[in-house]
A and B are shown apart, each in its own frame.
Chain A
């Protein structure tokens, strides 16, 4: 289905499109009381806030022994604020944040009535798919989250390896039968999956649905205005296809990576200028969230908010929600095309690749590189004005962001990380590209 066709038949957006004849209108932030955009799950009547809290990027601090631990105080504050402003969907996993995310979520949420929020967690049995290991992980999640039922339970990141990999992780070990029984018993209210992979792999899961083999209650996909028609690499499928397939089957959609790990909150300067020109008072991130909210089959948009600032900004976006007009969607498509011109690494900082067995800080290196590209503070040529200044800025900030023994030049290209990257980034190749860029800076051969 083409986007234009879809817009025509989607209620809310049609009205919005009809009401937006002007090409370059500047719409100031909506006035009036804040009203969180809520979508009703047509299958069970769950009233889910459009903004969901992703529990993968909470702030970490060092404990007394120097180990990374979640800053529980900050988490409690954010969770309280989120609940008070209508956010009610919390998405976690036993693997997130070095395995600490569920516990922190349980800690923060259990201070509130259980019926005031929905919990989503996952069977993240990537490294131990045995029945015992998987069952242990499942039961442990109840303890960590201090609950006796999950509202939404996901088969974590299926797709890569298609049906075969799915069978190994969930069928052969009997987990899928077990989970279906758990659903009957009411301990799982909705059973779905999160997807990263290619088109034919997605198709195989839809065929399972069509044949009645699996009744997916919902599906979590990566969707944003870049991935809509410009998903990176041959191994990932465009979101417009995923959306259309799910919409056709009326499967509720939960969106992950609406900001591509923050990259769409911090776009290259030239793109940011065009966005600000249109909406001076709205944040860059708001464009990405409005994009997701514009599509009616979307039940919830997850955002991994690390601090109060993005939380407040996102609540503002969905509290005074304005769907995008067709013209604005075209504008975002242009921005996505422009974004592809920049040599950014498609990393969302999800840290699935970590820890690298050789100690490389993979996401740290990519984030630092992307930041320099986005801010336009990367030296491209010796002839460039301010070359010396940009060179120093890059090298000094690199050493500050990433310990020297964890930098790209130490990567041995063993490829251990490759299967773990949901974005299919050729990590060793990209690290080498950055290492060569840094060498070029140091040797002045750019």
Chain B
């Protein structure tokens, strides 16, 4: 019975979180957003004391049910293990705790967290790992499926499904996601919860509390016949049955209740066991990192290269303009991201520093961004953590979706009104590329489209040509000008991040 409840709840949470990542329409996040917010590491980074206390209490009362029900990576591993073992009579056996690995990784994780090495944190954290896999590997398949339906809908004249662009946001992150999947599948296919009990820093953190849990599966030594049925079905591999002893390592037990189901003698019971067992405790120390490493400038000679390419694009277009016949389309080169000295992070993030310190790189915002603005960073410093860029769209004024979703508080919740004032970047004009300033064409697109009215066309007194001027104190860094600038592949007006937003 307990197992059935556990399985049912696990399904609900797992489906909910997976759908949250897949749903690009934003229809579900009002209902399911909380499932991301109760994830352990995001709550820690968001300094969401309520959630942390609740999860610690939950573990102190019921053990590591978090790992069996709430953690999507945990449930995912249960699924993989089931595939690997459900036909076997004795799939698992007791394995000694690998203390060095377990506490070594945990210590490393805490150090990384304190030092602000977020890439290492994101690599190890279970929720981030799961989000990464879904966003990079499953969402494309989901979107292709959607696009198939959109094609059918288009033929039927229906607007229920509409096409979404499927594109590679970041190769490094995609590769990491693939490796993550390979490692998780390899560990769990035959090994059950190996990852959770020797690598997962959240699992280790919760184990400090679960060993004292009020309710735990306990073996009644009087009834136990030492048949090993429980041990052979324990996917945490934490039950040790020998000829004369029967013991459960509650630091590793994830309360899946498989053992209770397997015991034919009623020797296993999930019951009140306060103070029955003891093991050395450790305090959970999550001091906030204060000393963020200074950002390294990434300016390079690539500016010159990109500029030359952009000029070439303009020339090609000018040639095409000499048309002979009616109809047809001029080629539109795809946009290329410019080099940004400071990355642009979403409105709602307090500063670039604060954003990257809190972000767990779970990819939820990347998966949800309806304007294709957010993508994982490829820079070593912020590997897999999102940044904004405007080749495929701009950060539209009516959208505050990422700020509503972010479970780690890296993107604080803001409203539409607040967003219009939220300055995350500043636009800069490259007058050499600008078609208006160089007299190649009449333009003024950026001034016309700027939602904050921060750009004006000013006359060059010498040439009489108009060129755009940005009022930096008004510009929000939304990227409308960069996205709509006719100069391709690199726009003549580009956004650079502001390090401090509020």
Interface residues, chain A, with chain B CB atoms under 8 Å away: 68, 94-99, 127-128, 350-352, 354-359, 361, 392-393, 396-397, 399-400, 405-406, 409-416, 432, 442-444
Contacts and interface: CB of A to CB of B under 8 A. Distances in A.
B398 A414 contact: no
B297 interface: no
Nearest to A56: B326
Contacts of B323: 127, 355
Interface string B374-400: 000000000000000000000011100
B330 interface: yes
Given A399-B162, A413-B448, A415-B442, A444 B398 contact: yes
A66 B486 CA distance: 24
A413 B442 contact: yes
Contact of B327 (A98, A357, A409, A414): A98
Contacts of A95: 324-326
13 contacts: A95-B326, A96-B325, A96-B326, A99-B324, A354-B329, A355-B323, A355-B327, A355-B328, A357-B320, A399-B163, A405-B332, A412-B445, A443-B396
B329 A397 contact: no
Nearest to A94: B325
Given A400-B163, A413-B444, A443-B398, A354 B328 contact: yes
B141 interface: no
Q: 10 smallest A-B Cβ distances: which pairs? A: A99-B325, A359-B332, A357-B321, A351-B327, A396-B162, A396-B159, A412-B445, A412-B443, A355-B330, A98-B328
A356 B398 contact: no
A128 B324 CA distance: 8
B322 interface: yes
B83 interface: no
A116 B373 CA distance: 61
Interface residues of B, number: 32
B444 A412 contact: yes
B318 interface: yes
B418 to A, nearest CB: 15
Given A127-B322, A413-B448, A68 B317 contact: no
A413 B441 CA distance: 9
Contacts of A128: 324
Contacts of B435: 412
A171 to B, nearest CB: 22
Interface in B463-502: 484, 486
A184 B484 CA distance: 56
A412 to B, nearest CB: 4
A397 B154 CA distance: 8
Contacts of A355: 320, 323, 327-330
Contact of B330 (A127, A359, A392, A396): A359
A246 to B, nearest CB: 26
B159 A393 contact: yes
A2 B403 CA distance: 66
B492 to A, nearest CB: 11
Contact of B442 (A96, A410, A414, A444): A414
B449 interface: yes
Contacts of A412: 435, 441-445, 486
Contact of A442 (B154, B398, B484): B398
A415 B443 CA distance: 9
Given A392-B159, A393-B159, A443-B397, A350 B317 contact: no
Nearest to A67: B328
B317 A357 contact: yes
Contacts of B445: 410-413
Contacts of B417: none
B143 to A, nearest CB: 15
A228 B256 CA distance: 82
A358 B325 contact: no
Contacts of B396: 442-443
A354 B326 contact: yes
Given A393-B159, A400-B154, 10 more contacts: A94-B325, A97-B327, A99-B324, A352-B326, A355-B330, A356-B329, A399-B162, A409-B484, A412-B435, A413-B444
